[in-house]
Chains A and B, each alone.
Chain A
Amino acid sequence: MAVEVKYDGLYVNGKRIPVYSGTVHYWRLERNLWPELLDKVKGMGFQMLETYIPWSVHEIEQGKFDFGQINPNKDLDAFLSLGEKKGFYLLVRPGPHINAELTYFGYPRRVLLDPEIQARTADNTPAILPVPPKHFPIPSYASEKFYSEVGIWLDAVCPIIAGHIYPRGKIIAIQSDNEMSFFFRTSPYDLDYSPGAINLYHCFLNDKYGHINNLNQTYGTNYASFKEISAPRSFDARHKENLPFYLDWAEFKEYYIIYGLMRIASMFRKRGIESIPIYHNYPTAYPKPPFNLIETEKVLNIQGIDIYPHKEDYEFIKLGAEYTSVTSRMPFIPEFGSGVWFWYKSLLPEDEIFTTLTVFMHGIKAINYYMIVERERWMGSPVTRDNRIRESYYKFYQRLNEMLTEIDFASLRKKSDFLLLCNWDYERLEYISQIVSLPLQMFLRMFTELPPTGFPSDEKLGFEDVIPREYSRWWGTIYRSLCKSGYSFSLSDTQLPLEKLQEFPVVIVPTFEFMNVASQRKLMDYTEKGGTLVIGPRIPLWDEKMQKNLVLGEGIKVSRDLLESAVCDLGFKIRQAYILGAHSFVSAEGKTVAGFLEKGKGKIILLGFMFSEELEPRVVELLDRIAHSAGIKREIWCEDSELDLTYHESDQRRVIFLANPTAKTKQTRLKSIFSLKLVDAWTRVAVNSGAISLSPYTVKVLEAAK
């Protein structure tokens, strides 16, 4: 490919182009203003532009398109040429799904009203998306008629795009569809039950199992063919043997999204869009089922996340940025809020400054600011649609782009010694065990507080524990302790390839009584090659098909005795602890409740207990013990545990990001094993590491020469 994707940016003919980009919607702006508007974008230091190319805007009747012949504002070719002339690299997004607050989200109305194209709910109704200014029925990405219609659109637009692809022009990446997510209706038993989707489900099962007998063996059923299988419409599992049927449904929901992205991507490739990477954007900062970032990057080049955060959303941004920074090939935010849609709470400069620095702090390397020039149905961009500037926004972006260049941010790598993994098996279990299917959960969260994990079933299903509940608590306790510990850490999930796991000296993963056997074997390989693996609270005894399969727990004896409640030797309360036959790592009442085993060049530490208190500060001492056993030290940290710190390094420099995500002014001191001579990268003023003051909701960027 003429354009390569690497962690730190897009490489064009071997030259790194950091992705710091901004969105301009040509068709919504007066054409005579385009040159000045783009000059203003350039004035902020941007070298990359992004635009949607909406089907419904260009289609004037079925099969007939206006690309500027009638309305000069729609002259896509002229806009792309102008962008190139102004020196911009270009990202394009021709859909078919656009959103952009367009009525009908960029689909022609006739397409959405076609019953053969509509998605169906579990109750066989159309699925309505209630968005202003006009609600509409959602299309199915499993409908062949849908792809026929999309093909006509792409036949018209791809030749124009192809004429501007690098090296002919400056388009260096293209997005497949947009925020594919069942149109935010991600509840497990909501969509899509249309005939095309059910057919796709059967094909998926066929590909997975190969033969119906293999499925019958796993499900304990007697189907004659895959076509006989009815898709689940609610969670009715009573015992763990019922789970593979539902876990397969979770996997299918992920597959449906990937299938749609793959179809659109292959339609691009067949129409001459060949030499540039294809990316996609989830409509969430922190992808969980049905979004599967790792699997998506097997078929597309980059899977990004979209975020529109206010300053109070720090914790959620952090989770998403940390996760994406490790898990993605190029950690990218294709839509980062620069302004926001009209019926949402506006983003002010204080929000954008704080949250932009937050995402960089937590490992994002590539970003597109949506929208850098305002348009209708949007508010709060640095450049208005009538060619004015909103000064406080504008100056922020100017200084930001200068600073990113001055510190050569693209060359920096975030330091992380610990890696905390989500266990994808339990994420899927939590997803499909929801007892109510809320069609608009993603929307509801904008207006009302929902439990973070929704409403998973509280049934044990034959396991010792209610896995979704205990998993969430165990992971949460470790996560919060890592945040307070002063150790550098990051996040990912159990699907992460071995070579990426090996970048981290310590990997922590929650484990319960069942777990995917391939994941277990990969984690064993990680320890054999020298890593320290921390698991718990249970040893997996069954695999994903609920067949007995002991991999991670081999060599660890577990007594059937259970300590209901005790205080461990580190001074915090534990519960439901198994007594282990292994070298002691943590003890309680004289018994080993956490043990370790040497495995190859590394070791496995099993924490065989639950935590009693989710906010127990002494769990940090457990992390100290783990760090010590892995030969890790704290390197740079601050005294105040309400503040957050990460640091990034290159050969030339260290850059420390220090965040105050609270509403209080804070004074703190940095501690380090290095000698720190600091300069505030924003103001270029020297900083005393022993006396740093932070206003509420600020991130300080501190540069230290190596």
Chain B
Amino acid sequence: MLAENVMIVDIDPWQCRRFYELIRPVRESRGTVYVIHEQGKVLKAVHTRGIPVKVERVEDPVKLARELYQSYLSDAVVIWEKGSLNKYFVEIQRTYREKQDFDDYLLEIFQLLHRESYSRDLVSYRGEEKGAGLYDFNLFRNFITTRVPDNSTLILGVFENNTVWCSWIVGVKGGKIVLISTFDSLITEGLRIRNWRNDYKQVLNLVSKKFFSPWLGLFMDKDVFEELMRTEDKLNYLGRELASRKIIGEPLKISLL
């Protein structure tokens, strides 16, 4: 999905920070509990904040992780079997293939963690089901590699009081992402936003002029975007708000939804 020589340019640092904090909300860290064992015999049990952790033996790591999570109220509980941890790192390095895309490699090494041989020995419990992030990532990957035509751009514009709150321009060529940018790259091209509901067309024209033709553009207010990111059924939400014109989709092929 990610081209080896992807151009990543003109990223507005404030916009990027806002996006980052939306997907990784700032909250007070409570530390992490680690238990390292060798076929059940505990070698180390430690809390990153120095709170004593007592574990006698590891019989059922998944159950133990949940119990420790509830007892210590930490951000996460990590339980590693020493031999399996080593085997895992050996395996992910032996799988290296020079032609493989980086995101493909990352996906492979994360999916390996779910394999039966590792899923009980390398446990990371954060109080939610593992794998939700992987599902979204796979969805996005499939979308880029199979749906987006060559030499086209995907655009996201999020506005607060008619200033750009966050934005993304993603260029795709040959099923790979070859460009990542923000509306910062359009400022020297003359972009001026006074009323985004009209001026989004400027964005489309300037992106077409500077990069590739827009294939999908989504424009919305910040509160709508925040709701979209929070909601589980994103496609339904998107459809509803496009119909209500809270989100402007241009260009937008209905078949996408």
Contact = CB atoms under 8 A, between A and B. Distances in A.
B50 interface: yes
Contact of B13 (A103, A127, A339, A451): A339
- Interface of chain B: mostly helix, strand, loop or mixed: mixed
Nearest to B91: A125
A113 B93 contact: no
Contacts of B134: none
B48 A449 contact: yes
Given A125-B94, A133-B4, A439-B89, A342 B11 contact: yes
B215 to A, nearest CB: 22
Contact of B102 (A135, A342, A435, A450): A135
A621 interface: no
B228 interface: no
Interface of A: 103, 113, 121, 123, 125-128, 130-135, 137, 339, 342, 345-348, 374, 376-380, 384-388, 390, 435-437, 439, 448-452, 455, 457-458, 614
A436 B80 contact: yes
B76 A134 contact: no
B225 to A, nearest CB: 18
A63 B85 CA distance: 42
B11 A379 contact: yes
B2 interface: yes
A128 B92 contact: yes
Contact of B3 (A133, A348, A384): A133
A458 B43 CA distance: 8
Given A121-B90, A384-B184, A437-B86, 8 more contacts: A125-B93, A339-B13, A376-B8, A386-B185, A388-B188, A436-B85, A450-B32, A451-B46
A342 B10 CA distance: 10
B102 A121 contact: no
A262 B27 CA distance: 45
Contacts of B48: 449-452
A448 B8 CA distance: 25
Given A134-B102, A379-B11, A126 B96 contact: yes
Contact of B12 (A127, A345, A379, A448): A379
B198 interface: no
Contact of B8 (A113, A130, A377): A377
Contacts of B255: none
B9 interface: yes
B44 A379 contact: no
A436 B106 CA distance: 22
A123 B90 contact: yes
Interface string B166-185: 00000000000000100011
Contacts of A457: 43-44
B44 A458 contact: yes
B4 A103 contact: yes
Given A113-B98, A130-B106, A346 B32 contact: no
A455 B32 CA distance: 13
Given A133-B5, A135-B102, A346-B16, A125 B10 contact: no
10 contacts: A123-B93, A126-B93, A345-B20, A346-B14, A379-B16, A384-B10, A386-B10, A386-B188, A390-B13, A455-B46
Contacts of B14: 346, 348
B5 A103 contact: yes
Contacts of B16: 342, 346, 379
B8 A451 contact: no
A388 B187 contact: yes
B248 to A, nearest CB: 27
Contacts of B92: 128
Interface in B87-137: 89-90, 92-94, 96, 98, 101-102, 105-106, 109
Contacts of A380: 13
Nearest to A344: B20
Given A388-B187, A451-B34, A135 B17 contact: no
Contacts of A103: 4-5
Given A121-B90, A376-B7, A137 B44 contact: no
Given A137-B96, A345-B17, A388-B188, A130 B109 contact: yes
A276 B17 CA distance: 40
Of A137, A377, A387, which is in contact with the most chain B CB atoms at under 10 Å from its CB?
Answer: A377
B241 to A, nearest CB: 28
A507 to B, nearest CB: 27
A347 B105 contact: no
B6 interface: yes
A455 B34 contact: yes
Contacts of B8: 342, 376-377
B75 interface: yes
Given A128-B96, A439-B89, A133 B6 contact: yes
A686 B81 CA distance: 61
A123 B90 CA distance: 7
